[in-house]
Structure 1
Amino acid sequence: MSRTFLSRPPKHVCSDITALAAVQRGQVGAFQLIHERHYPAVHAYATECLADVEAVGGLSTRVFRRVLATRLKGGVVIGVRHPGCLRRELLDGVRSGAVAHAAYDVAALAPGFRDWVAKGAAWPMEDGSQLARAFERLPRSAQILLWHGVVEQEDPRLIARITGRREAAVVASTQQAMELLRGIRLGLHAERMGRPECREALAGLGAALDCAAVSGIAAHGRDCQWCREAGEDLADLDGRLGSHLPAWQLGWWPGPRYLRVKAVSRALVDVPSYVCEFPELSAAWVPNRPRGRGLLSRRKPGDTGGYA
């Protein structure tokens, strides 16, 4: 199998990781890139946590401001739970902030989120746990591709900017990451099988899951519940990844509603006003800056001005 998704990004592309490093050096344009790429998602997730429009805006701002302040101090923005994935870390911050908001203003919570908090804001204990175990065994680069490509269903152009890879390679790289996940998931299923005939049936599947292999596991699965469940899991791994993994990673996941709101949200193309609170920021930046165009000039949403 090709290892495209592990390859180094082109030098001219500014990934999230590269941009975060530039933020630490006080380069405001790098933070603007991060804000443009992730604001629609952060705002959409906050909208599914809080019902009050003003509270949504305030929470979204606090999450980004915390990233900026932390990086300027040399702190770590992306923790061990979400290795390399800034988006998940941002959404994690939104959820934590919304839970804190519930302590003094429950009425401001969105209905679904309010119900989740009322039930103890509990993570799923079983549903998705085995899938999460397989996901966490993936290389960091493969995890990021699957999160943005399969879970968040984002445009390959945006995924290319976030990951720092060429747009033409995004779809193939995401497919390769899914094949790797399927292979890991298959191995985990095989570990649980006690009977030789079960292990043999699963070994016949392979990561590609061709039609003959699926038919074989289906025939064996008529008499074996474990193998039947394993075959169903592997056949629908894409769908399960999108529906089960997010709740395991984030606790609260509104599913399709979040995706719909995100799709109609727009990134703010101007530098957020609160950056003025950080005198250490500089407007002088970064790779491939177009001549004759100011860093802070207004741009259309999605246009990175040559920085990514």
Structure 2
Amino acid sequence: MQSPHPPRPPYPPGPGALPESDPDLVALLGGPHARRHHAVALLLDRHWRATRDYAVVCLAAADPSARLVATAAFHQVLGGTTGGPAVGALRPQLLAAVRETVRAWAADESACVVMPELRKPTGGRGLRAAMPATPERRQLAERAFRALPGASQCLLWHSEVEAEPITIPAGLLGLDAATAATALEQAREQFRAGCLRAHRELAPTGECRFHNRLLDAPVRRGGPPLPEERRHLASCRHCRHAAEQLGRFDDGLDVLLAETVLGWGARRYLDSRPARRAANQSVSGSSAARPAARPPGGRHHTVPESGRRTKVAASRRRTALAVGAGLASLALLATVLVAEGRSGEASGSRATGRGHPNQVAFPWGR
């Protein structure tokens, strides 16, 4: 009997092959039934785990509620309820949809009865009480990120926040790794220039506009601000926020982007990323291979081999559970998208992939 689910394709693709880009897959959602399921399968394979992980952060609780929130976010972004085609950097859009879904459900008493975790102060209740607007100290970065082309958003998010190798965002955009690496450097400069432009456009005084270029110069050369600049920063909050955001480009761009796009739970989301955890474990593993610091008793201690095997086994069990959750949600989401029965103008817009990712401003879903 043939499986009702499309096969999960290898990702990233083999050498010499370029995968279908996220915008191409989104365009297929308005196409024939078989191609729509193909697109849903690939998009879930790429973005389900991160979406569910952020749902866990926002709820301060895991399955099954996190799966429900993640599925609702996919439907909001890919199902046409936002009123336009979901193109560009899909991952930040899905995560923003998770945040707003939890915020909305936490305000619904009937939803809180069904999902008591929505009342947690560290989860839904706290998120509902938090200010929905971007904090002042991140407004320049928000304005700059929104103005970036979708491809630049994708490269920055997956390289900096997700800490993934360049082959991952390259695959999401249908590019080869060398082209994506060059585009990533350009994206960083675009983002930096956008922050400076936002500082100038939002400057409350002419003096702030005068200091616009002086803000970035000390950061680039690695020295302290000029005396005149220090005097101005001491009295101007707008320019202090700008200087702090520009200072994160050399060390802390991941935090800047996560706090700008997500706000709630940004640090916890960063800690949840598999590539980031794997890198930290590699560093810990290389340190563990060397003798540990000598304890008071004068004996060295190392992690026993049995402990390492236990960790590996636990990791494999977690992976199996995540795959099972993804497949279950694939069936649910595919059913929702097919049942929606796109027609008329909405179907035509997705079939044609209206708008190019490099021409679409980032939709925040707020």
TM bucket by the smaller chain? Answer: 0.5 to 0.7
> 2-side partners of 1:139 and 1:92: how far apart?
18
Please name the residue that 1:235 is paired with: 247
| 2:223 partner amino acid | S
Report the residue type matching 1:165 in the other structure: L
Which of 119, 141, 158 is matched with 1:131 structurally? Answer: 141
Report whether the alignment pairs 1:96 with 2:100.
yes
Task: Give the counterpart letter for 1:237 in structure 2.
Answer: F
Distance 2:220 2:264 in 1: 32
Measured in 2, the distance between the counterparts of 1:239 and 1:112 equals: 28
1:6 — aligned with what? none
Match of 1:84 in 2: 88
Cα distance in structure 2, aligned partners of 1:237 and 1:155? 18
Q: How does 1:32-51 map to 2 (within 5 A)?
A: 32-50=41-59, 51=61
Query: 1:194 aligned to 2:198?
Result: no
Change (3 A) 1:230 1:257: closer
Shift of 1:236: 2.2
Equivalent-residue separation in structure 1 for 2:79 and 2:240 (angstroms): 51
1-side partners of 2:247 and 2:227: how far apart?
A: 15
**Range with greater deviation from structure 2 (234-243 or 24-33):** 234-243
1:53 maps onto 2:53 in alignment:
no
- Structure 2 gaps of 5+ residues are 1-15, 278-317, 342-366
The change in CA–CA distance for 1:169 and 1:218 in structure 2 (over 3 A counts) is: farther
Do 2:141 and 2:195's aligned partners in 1 also have CA atoms closer than 8 Å?
Answer: yes
For 2:217, which of 202, 205, 209 is the aligned residue? Answer: 205
What displacement does 1:189 show? 3.9
Map residues 266-277 of structure 1 onto 2, 5 A cutoff.
268=323, 270=327, 272-274=330-332, 275=334
- Counterpart in the other structure of 2:152: 142
Partner of 2:185: 175
- Is 1:31 the counterpart of 2:25? The answer is no
Matches of 2:139 and 2:208, distance apart in 1? 25
Single out whichever of 146-155 and 265-274 deviates more from structure 2. Answer: 265-274
TM-score, structure 2 as length reference = 0.58
**Residues 1:248 and 1:115: Cα distance change in structure 2 (over 3 Å):** farther
The amino acid across from 1:273 in the alignment is A
Seen in structure 2, the aligned counterparts of structure 1 residues 22 and 234 have a Cα distance that, compared at 3 Å, is same
Q: Which amino acid aligns with 1:64?
A: F
Q: Deviations over 1:263-283 (max 9, x none)?
A: 177564758223357388xxx
> 1:112-140: CA deviations, max 9, x gaps?
23353352553234121122122233333
Asked if residue 63 in structure 1 is aligned to residue 73 in structure 2, the reply is yes
Q: 1:216 to 1:194 in 2, by over 3 A?
A: farther
Question: Larger helix proportion, structure 1 or 2?
Answer: 2
In terms of Rg, which structure is larger? 2
Structure 1 distance, partners of 2:64, 2:38, is 26
Q: Residue 258 of structure 1 corresponds to which residue in structure 2? A: 269
**Partner Cα separation in structure 1 for residue 130 and residue 242 of structure 2:** 31
Which amino acid in structure 2 is aligned with residue 150 of structure 1?
A: E
Given the alignment of the two structures, is residue 15 of structure 1 paired with residue 24 of structure 2, yes or no? no
**Distance of aligned partners of 1:33 and 1:245 in 2 relative to their CA distance in 1, 3 Å threshold:** same
Give the structure 2 partner of residue 287 of structure 1.
Answer: none
Number of paired residues? 261
Separation of aligned partners in 2, 1:46 and 1:233: 27
SS in structure 1 of the partner of residue 88 of structure 2: coil
Does the CA-based 8 Å contact 1:43-1:262 persist in structure 2?
no
Q: Distance in 2 between matches of 1:165 and 1:256?
A: 30
Distance 2:241 2:146 in 1: 21
Structure 1 segments unaligned to the other structure (5+ residues): 1-9, 281-308
Does the C-alpha gap of structure 1 residues 153 and 205 become closer, same or farther in structure 2, counting only changes over 3 Å?
A: same
Indicate conservation of the 8 Å contact 1:40/1:262, yes or no.
Answer: no
Alpha-carbon distance change, 132 to 240 in structure 1, aligned in 2, over 3 angstroms: farther
Conserved in 2, the CA contact under 8 Å of 1:146 and 1:177?
A: yes
Shift of 1:220: 4.0
Matched, 1:223 2:227: no
Q: CA distance change for structure 1 residues 93 and 231 in 2, over 3 Å: closer, same or farther?
A: closer
RMSD over aligned Cα atoms = 3.8
Contact map agreement 2:51 2:95 (CA 8 A) in 1: yes
Identical residues among aligned pairs (%): 27
Indicate whether 1:113 and 2:123 are aligned: yes
Deviation string, structure 1 residues 167-204 (Cα, Å, up to 9, x no partner): 23333322221112222323444564635995496288
- The answer on whether the counterparts of 2:245 and 2:256 sit within 8 Å (CA) in structure 1 is no
SS at match of 2:136: coil
Q: For 1:150-165, what aligned pairs fall within 5 Å after superposition?
A: 150-165=160-175
Per the alignment, in what secondary structure is the counterpart of residue 222 of structure 1?
helix
Deviation at 1:92, TM superposition (A): 2.4
